[in-house]
Structure 1
Amino acid sequence: MSELEALRAKWLARWEDALACWSRYTRLSAPRICVTREELEREKMSTAFALIRLVDHAVAIDLAQIVDKGLESHALAVLAHEIGHHVYCPGDLSDHARVIARVRRALPTREHLAPFVSNLWSDLLINDRLHRSAGVDMAAVYRALGLAERTNAVWWIYLRTYELLWGLTRGSLAERVDSSTPEGMQLEGDAQLAARVVRAYSKDFVRGAGRFASLLLGHLLTDDAAGARQRWAILNDTESIGAGGEVDGLSEVDEGEDDVLHPAEDPEVTGRDTPRDETPSASPRSRGVMRTGTKTPRGPREYGDLLRAIGAYTDEDDVAIRYYTEQARPHLVPFPRRESPRATEPQPEGLEVWEPGSPIERVDWVESVVRSPVVIPGVTTMERTYGESPGADPAREPLDLYVGIDCSGSMGNPRLVHSHAIVAGAVLALSALRAGARVKVVLSGEPGRTISTPGFERDARTVMKLLTSYLGTGTAFGIHRLRDTFADDWPTRRRAVHVLVVTDSDVFGHLGAEREGRSGWSIARDAIERARGGGTYVLRLDPSSHAADVARMRQDGWDVHHVRALEELVAFARAFARSRYHRARR
C-alpha cells in the first residue's frame, strides 16, 4: 500500500467523527478522496484541495494537495468543514442562490466577486460553529497553511475576524497591523464589525450575507481583491457547488433581497434601537420590498448571471427557456378542449408478441406466464391488443395552438430584457402542451425575417427555444405568413387549431398589402376557416383607434383583444384559456 493509500484510509476512518461534529444523526455518503489523476479528473478538481457539490451531496478531497499543504493531521477539521456546507451554510442550492443574489446586490460594479465573497461568509460561519460548539481546532488549519502575510485588506480582515471570534492573540493568524494609523484603524474596525455580523446572523445567514458584502465593498472597490482571491484559490471548495443543478424561484427578486445595510448602520449588529427603515442606507426601494413583500421580475440577463455565479449555468438557450418557463408557471391553466361527438372505449380483442423496445407496461404478464414459465423477451412475452367501441360520453380533444408573435424592432430582445409578450406566449404554449395539444410558434418581423418551429410540436424545449428567440426586423407580424401553415392543401381531417396573433397597429398595413395577388385580409380569413378552431388578434392598441379595421377583423371571424401596455398581456393569456374554453371542458 502506498503512502497516499494509507493516508486515504486514515482520513476515511475520521469521516464518522466529522459527521458527529454536527450531529450524531447526520448522514452523508463517504467522501471521494482522490489519489490518482483519473480520480481527480472524474471529480473535476482543479486548484482547491477540497470541494463540495450540492446536487449529488458530494465531498471530494485532493490528497496530494493535502500532503503538499501540510494538512495530513487535520482530517477532522477539513472533513467537518466540508460537511458544514451541506448541513449548515448554504445547505442547499436554493439558499446558496439566495445568498449569491444578496451579495450581488451589495456589490455594485463588483458583482463578479459574489461567489468569492459568499464563500468567505459561509466559511466564517462554518468554522466559527465548529470551533465553538464542536471543539475543532480550525485555527490550526490556517496556521498550517501559512497564509498570515497581509497581501490584501479583504484577506487580512477575514483572518483577523477569526482572531476576534475565538479570542486569539493578535497576529496569531493575521499579520500584525499598526492600529494607530488611519488605515490600521479602518481595518481593525471592519474586522470587529465582521465578527459581530457572524454572531448576529449565524441563524439567518441569507440576510447576513448582504451585510457582510456591504462591509467589504469599499475594499473591493479599491483593489478588486486580486491578492485575496489568489490566496483563496486553494480554499475555494464551492467552485463546483451548483454544477448540474436547477433552482426554481430565481426569476423574481426575493423579498428583502435589496436589504443590504452596512453593518455599522444595522441595529442588530450595533445594538442601537434605530428602526431599520429609518437608517440612511435603507433606500426607499429596499424599504418597499421589505414592507410590501412585492416581487418583481429579475430580468433574464441578471438571471443568467446569477445561474453562472452559483455554477448552474449551461447555455444561453437553456437560460432563456428556464427563465420564461418559471415566469409562466404560476399562470398555467389547462388548455381548452373541444368536445367530439362521441368518445370510444378500448375493447380487448386478442394477443400478440410483445417486442423489446415497446413500453414495458404493455406486457400481459399473466398470459406470458401461461404461455411459458420461462420469460424470454420478444419470444414468450405477450401483449393484449385492443379495438375501439363507441362510448356514451362525448370525447374531449384539445385544440392545437398557433402562436404568432410580433418580433419587430419595436419589441425588445427577450434574452436581455423581460418580455411580457414572451411570458404570455409561454403561458399559452405550455398550457396547451400540458393538455396534450400541439403548438406551433411563429416569430415574425416583416418586412424582414420570420422563423417558426418545424410544425406543430409536442416538445416543450423546442417550442420554448423558438419562442425566446429574437429577430428585431421589420414593423409587425407578417400576416401573409399564415399562408405558410394554412395553405390550400391544409388537411381537413387534422385536429382543429386556434390561431392567436400578438402584434400592434402596424399589422393593418400588412393586412391591406397584396402578395401574389392576395391581400392579407383574405389570407387571415381563410386561415381561421381552415384551422376550424377560431382566431384571436391581441393588439397593443387604443380601443378607440382603427375602429373600422377592428370591425372588419371581427366580421371575418376573428376575436380582437386590446392591450394598452405589454404588461397586460400576461393577464390576457391567463384569462384567455379560462374565460373562453373552461365551459367547453364541462
Structure 2
Amino acid sequence: MSAKPRLTRLRDEWMARWPEALALWSKFTKLREPRWCFNKTEEKEENLSGSFAMIRLNDHTIVISLAQVLDQKLDPFPLEILGHEIGHHVYCPADLSDQGRMIARMRRALPTKEHQAGFISNLYADLLINDRLQRGSTLKMADVYRTLGNDSTDRVWTFYMRIYEILWSLQKGSLAKGEIDGSLEGDAALGARLIRAYGKYWLKGAGRFAALCLPYLMKDEAQQMRKILKGWLDTQDAGAGGTPDGLIEIDADEAEGAIHPALDDELTGIDMGETGEEDGEGDEGEAKKKRDAITPDSSSAGGARGQYREPFEYGEILKGMGVKLSPHELAIRYYRERSLPHLVKFPSRAIPESKEPLAEGLDVWDVGSPLEEVDWFESTMASPQIIPGITTVQRVYGTASGSLPEREPVDLDLYVDCSGSMPNPQAATSYLTLAGAIISLSALRVGSRVKATLWSGAHDYQTTGQFIRDEHDVLKILTGYIGGWTAFPIHLLRETFANRKPSDRPVHILVISDDGVDTMFSDDEKGNSGWDVSRMALERARGGGTMVLNLWSDWQQNQTLLRASREGWDIHRVQTWEQLVEFARVFSRANYGETGKK
C-alpha cells in the first residue's frame, strides 16, 4: 500500500476517535479538529519540527504528523495521543500566561541550567496529564512510553520512567530499564508524591519538580533523553506567535517555591526548621511558629508582589516558551507592559450643549443634491418657472459654537540620554526608558504626537525624525541602545523648530539626562550658540520645556542650570533613576490627564 492511502486511512481512524478523546476531559470540552500533516511540507507550514505532535496555545491548535506516528509505531494509540494533546489545552499549561509562569518558577530552581526550563516544563506537564489519563480513563499510557523508550538505560530516562512506575503501581523495571540505586529510587518516590500532591495546584509544584530534576541535568543536560523524547516534545514551541501579559511581574510565591521536594513538609510530612531538622516542641520549633505567625506570606528576595523581572530574564522566559522575537522586540513589549499602570486614563469625549441651527441665507440647489433640501417656497418666490439647478435654491444653515472650549493636545519632543553611563534597556531595567515610555504612551493616548530621540553624541543618535502617532515606532527608539560619549545633538533641536509655524500645534520639549545635559548649550556644528538654539526652540514650541536630571547636588548650585531656568526651562532633580517613574507619572497627569493642561 502506498504512503498516501495509509496516511489517509490513519487520519480517518484517528478522526473517528476525536469526540471520544474530547470526552476524556469533559463532555463539554470543545476544541477544533487537529491539523493533520501528510508530508514534510505541511509539517513545515505548521512549524512542526522533529515531533509527531505539538500544541500551539496562541490559536488553541493541535498538530499531528501522520507519517511520524507511523514511523514511531504509535498508530495503535489514538486516544492516548489525542487525549494527551487535549490535556495540554484544558489542564496543563492550558494558556500562555500559565506556561510562562511555570517556566519562570522552574528557572529559579535550575541555577546554571535555566535554559532547560522549557524542556523540564514539558516533562512535568506530561506527568500530570498522563497520570490523570492513566488512572481516570484506564488508557494505555505506559505502552506509549514502552514504544518510545526502546529499552533505553539512560539515567535521566530511568528516573522519569521510575516515577511513572510508582504512580501507576507497575512492577519495577517494567518501564525503567536502567540501574535504580537508592538515590534514584528516593527521587522518583518524591517525584510521584509531588505529582499527586500538587496535581490540582500544579503551578505551585513546578519549581519543586525542577529542583528535583536539577542533579540529573548536570552531566550531559539530558541529551540522551531529549533524543528519546524528540518525537513527543509537544510544548517546546507552544508559545509561538503569542506574547502573554503578566510575566514581567514576579509572583508572590515564585522564589519560595524553588525548593527541593525533600524540604517540602507537605510532601515529607516533616515540618522543617531553619536548621533543616524536624521541628519539635523545643525552642526552635516554637521560634518557627512565631515567625510563621508574624510573616505567613513572606518570601526570599524577588518573591514579593510588585517586584519586576529584568528584561533579559523576561526574554529568556519567552524564549523557553518558543516565542521567537529579537531582544529589541522583547524589550518593546517589556517596557510597554511595565508602563501601563502609570498611564493617564483614556480621555472622555466632551460633547457641547445642543443648539438650534442658524439660517444663514440661500444657495443654488443643483441636481446632484438631495431633493429634500430644495426650498420650494424661496424657489417659487425667485421665479415662477422652476428650472432645476438654475432657479432652485436651498437654505444654508450654520451652527452656534458650543459652551465648552476646544481642547488642543500638546505634542511631545522627547530627548532621552543614552550615553555610556546609562544601562542597556534590553538587558537590564532602564528607568530612563521606562519614564520615556510612560510619558510617550500617555501623550499618544490623548491624541498628541511624539517625536522621540535617543542620544549619546552630537552625531550619535536614533530618532523617529517626525512627530508621529505610531506607538511601536516610538518604543522602538526608546528601547534602543547607543552607549557612547555624551554630547547633546543641538542640530536636531534647531532643525525641529527652525521652520515651526505659529499655526502648528504647541510642543512640549522634555529632556531626560544627568549633568551631561550642559552639552546642550555648547556651540553647534555651524557655530550657533546652544543658548540661542534653546531659546528659539522654546519660543517656537509654545508648549514649554522640562529637564529631569539625575544630580548629586541641588541644581540651583549649577550656574548653567540656573541660567537655563531663567530662560524658561522647568528643571526637576532626581537623586536615583528609580525616581523617574514617579516623575513620569506626575508629569503625564499634569500635561495629558483630564485635569491637566491641554
Question: After TM superposition, is the score higher than 0.5?
Answer: yes
The one-letter code matched in structure 2 to 1:193 is: L
Counterpart in the other structure of 2:260: 262
Deviations 1:178-201 (A, max 9, x none): x5xxxx111111111111111111
1:532, CA displacement in angstroms? 0.3
Deviations 1:75-119 (A, max 9, x none): 011110000000000010100001111111111111111111110
Say whether 1:162 aligns with 2:170.
no
The one-letter code matched in structure 1 to 2:507 is: V
8 A contact 1:440–1:457 mirrored in 2? yes
Secondary structure (helix, strand or coil) at the match of 2:79 reads helix
1:410, CA displacement in angstroms? 1.0
Counterpart in the other structure of 2:391: none
Secondary structure (helix, strand or coil) at the match of 2:420 reads coil
8 A contact 2:511–2:546 mirrored in 1? yes
The 5-angstrom pairing of residues 411-422 of structure 1 reads: 411-422=422-433
Counterpart in the other structure of 2:197: 200
Match of 1:495 among 484, 489, 505: 505
Deviations 1:3-45 (A, max 9, x none): 2212211100111111111111111111222224443233222
1:157, CA displacement in angstroms? 0.8
Q: Distance in 2 between matches of 1:198 and 1:543?
A: 57
Q: Distance in 2 between matches of 1:224 and 1:36?
A: 31
Secondary structure (helix, strand or coil) at the match of 2:547 reads strand
Q: Distance in 1 between matches of 2:367 and 2:537?
A: 44
Q: Distance in 1 between matches of 2:175 and 2:334?
A: 44
Secondary structure (helix, strand or coil) at the match of 1:273 reads coil
Pair 1:460–1:509, CA change in 2 (3 A): closer
Structure 1 stretch displaced more, 39-48 or 189-198: 39-48
The one-letter code matched in structure 2 to 1:3 is: R
1:484, CA displacement in angstroms? 2.3
TM-score, normalised by the number of residues in structure 2: 0.84
Say whether 1:149 aligns with 2:152.
yes
Match of 2:223 among 210, 222, 226: 226
The one-letter code matched in structure 2 to 1:171 is: G
* Unaligned 5+ runs, structure 1: 354-363, 368-385
Match of 2:96 among 70, 93, 97: 93
Counterpart in the other structure of 1:273: 271
Counterpart in the other structure of 2:478: 467
Say whether 1:115 aligns with 2:118.
yes
Q: Distance in 1 between matches of 2:526 and 2:93?
A: 63
Secondary structure (helix, strand or coil) at the match of 2:219 reads helix
8 A contact 1:336–1:577 mirrored in 2? no
Q: Distance in 2 between matches of 1:240 and 1:346?
A: 62
1:273, CA displacement in angstroms? 2.4
1:402, CA displacement in angstroms? 0.6
Pair 1:29–1:585, CA change in 2 (3 A): same
Match of 1:80 among 80, 83, 89: 83
The 5-angstrom pairing of residues 313-328 of structure 1 reads: 313-328=324-339
Structure 1 stretch displaced more, 29-38 or 400-409: 29-38
1:560, CA displacement in angstroms? 0.8
1:472, CA displacement in angstroms? 1.0
Q: Distance in 2 between matches of 1:347 and 1:236?
A: 73
1:512, CA displacement in angstroms? 4.7
Structure 1 stretch displaced more, 461-470 or 61-70: 61-70
Q: Distance in 1 between matches of 2:357 and 2:59?
A: 44
Counterpart in the other structure of 1:380: none
Q: Distance in 2 between matches of 1:421 and 1:307?
A: 24
8 A contact 1:447–1:473 mirrored in 2? no
1:329, CA displacement in angstroms? 0.8
Q: Distance in 2 between matches of 1:352 and 1:73?
A: 77
Structure 1 stretch displaced more, 160-169 or 229-238: 229-238
8 A contact 1:335–1:432 mirrored in 2? no
Structure 1 stretch displaced more, 110-119 or 518-527: 518-527
8 A contact 1:335–1:398 mirrored in 2? no
Pair 1:129–1:264, CA change in 2 (3 A): same
The 5-angstrom pairing of residues 259-338 of structure 1 reads: 259=256, 260-274=258-272, 287-289=298-300, 293-334=304-345
The 5-angstrom pairing of residues 510-549 of structure 1 reads: 510-513=520-523, 516-545=526-555, 546-549=557-560
Deviations 1:191-244 (A, max 9, x none): 111111111111121121111110111121122111111111011111321111
Q: Distance in 1 between matches of 2:271 and 2:596?
A: 60
1:446, CA displacement in angstroms? 2.6
8 A contact 2:446–2:592 mirrored in 1? no
Q: Distance in 1 between matches of 2:149 and 2:367?
A: 74
Q: Distance in 1 between matches of 2:34 and 2:325?
A: 26
The 5-angstrom pairing of residues 30-49 of structure 1 reads: 30-49=33-52
Say whether 1:212 aligns with 2:209.
yes
The one-letter code matched in structure 1 to 2:216 is: H
Q: Distance in 1 between matches of 2:347 and 2:51?
A: 54
Structure 1 stretch displaced more, 316-325 or 447-456: 447-456
Secondary structure (helix, strand or coil) at the match of 2:299 reads helix
1:496, CA displacement in angstroms? 0.5
Q: Distance in 1 between matches of 2:519 and 2:453?
A: 19
Structure 1 stretch displaced more, 287-296 or 390-399: 287-296
Say whether 1:11 aligns with 2:14.
yes
Counterpart in the other structure of 2:285: none
The one-letter code matched in structure 1 to 2:460 is: R
8 A contact 2:250–2:308 mirrored in 1? yes
The one-letter code matched in structure 2 to 1:49 is: F
8 A contact 1:335–1:581 mirrored in 2? no
Pair 1:498–1:204, CA change in 2 (3 A): same
Pair 1:110–1:343, CA change in 2 (3 A): farther
Pair 1:5–1:186, CA change in 2 (3 A): same
Stretches (4+) displaced over 4 A: 277-280, 289-292, 334-337, 342-353, 386-389, 512-515
Counterpart in the other structure of 1:361: none
Secondary structure (helix, strand or coil) at the match of 2:213 reads helix
Pair 1:137–1:437, CA change in 2 (3 A): same
Deviations 1:429-465 (A, max 9, x none): 0011111110001111135512211200111111111
Q: Distance in 2 between matches of 1:423 and 1:306?
A: 20
Pair 1:161–1:352, CA change in 2 (3 A): farther
1:492, CA displacement in angstroms? 1.8
Secondary structure (helix, strand or coil) at the match of 1:398 reads coil
Say whether 1:67 aligns with 2:64.
no
Say whether 1:240 aligns with 2:251.
no
Counterpart in the other structure of 2:382: none
1:414, CA displacement in angstroms? 1.1
Counterpart in the other structure of 2:387: none
Deviations 1:487-506 (A, max 9, x none): 1x222211100000011112
Pair 1:474–1:335, CA change in 2 (3 A): farther
TM-score, normalised by the number of residues in structure 1: 0.86
1:548, CA displacement in angstroms? 3.3
Pair 1:12–1:295, CA change in 2 (3 A): same
Deviations 1:471-525 (A, max 9, x none): 11222534453112111x2222111000000111122244254653432222112
Pair 1:335–1:93, CA change in 2 (3 A): closer
Aligned residues between the structures = 545
User: Which structure's CA Rg is the greater one?
Assistant: 2
Structure 1 stretch displaced more, 122-131 or 499-508: 499-508
RMSD of equivalent CA atoms: 3.3
Counterpart in the other structure of 2:378: none
Percent identity among equivalent residues?
46
1:120, CA displacement in angstroms? 0.5
